[in-house]
């Protein structure tokens, strides 16, 4: 049973890799997998953290947007929302710890 599942996983990975390579535009592996599974591709918090890291290294919003097949305004708003959410989490955590 394990060999069958492994073979299916391998085929799935090869299909996603083929889609990513043959695509005319740059495609992240997650996007290629979403094409196979017919699910909408959604960026994770890890992706947004990677975006922030790229921006901190000197890349422009446009350059990051090209990597993620998005627009520079979309990247800007994602990063802004993520930072705002993290700040709220930190400030609420600080309030809870100071109350106790």
Which tokens belong to 57? 């290294």
Contact (CB, 8 A) for 63 and 75: no
Q: In angstroms, what CA-CA distances link 96 with 88, 89, 91?
A: 12, 11, 9
Q: In angstroms, what CA-CA distances link 90 with 44, 50, 74, 96?
A: 20, 20, 24, 10
Domain ranges of the chain: 1-40, 43-100
- What digits encode the pLDDT tens for the residues 54-71? 999 999 999 998 888 788
* Fold (topology level) of 43-100: Arc Repressor Mutant, subunit A (1.10.10)
Higher model confidence: residue 39 or residue 42? 42
- What digits encode the pLDDT tens for the residues 76-95? 999 999 999 999 888 877 65
How many whole angstroms separate alpha carbon 100 and alpha carbon 97?
Answer: 5
Banded model confidence at residue 98, pLDDT cuts 50, 70, 90 = very low
């Amino acid at each position: 049973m394990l060999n069958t599942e492994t073979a299916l996983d391998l085929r799935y990975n090869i299909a996603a890799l083929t889609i990513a390579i043959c695509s005319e535009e740059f495609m992240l592996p997650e996007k290629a997998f979403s094409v196979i599974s017919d699910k909408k591709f959604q960026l994770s918090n890890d992706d947004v953290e990677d975006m922030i890291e790229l921006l901190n290294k000197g890349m422009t919003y446009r350059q990051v947007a090209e990597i993620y097949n998005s627009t520079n305004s979309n990247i800007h708003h994602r990063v802004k929302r993520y930072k705002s959410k993290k700040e709220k989490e930190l400030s609420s955590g600080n309030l809870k710890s100071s109350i106790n």
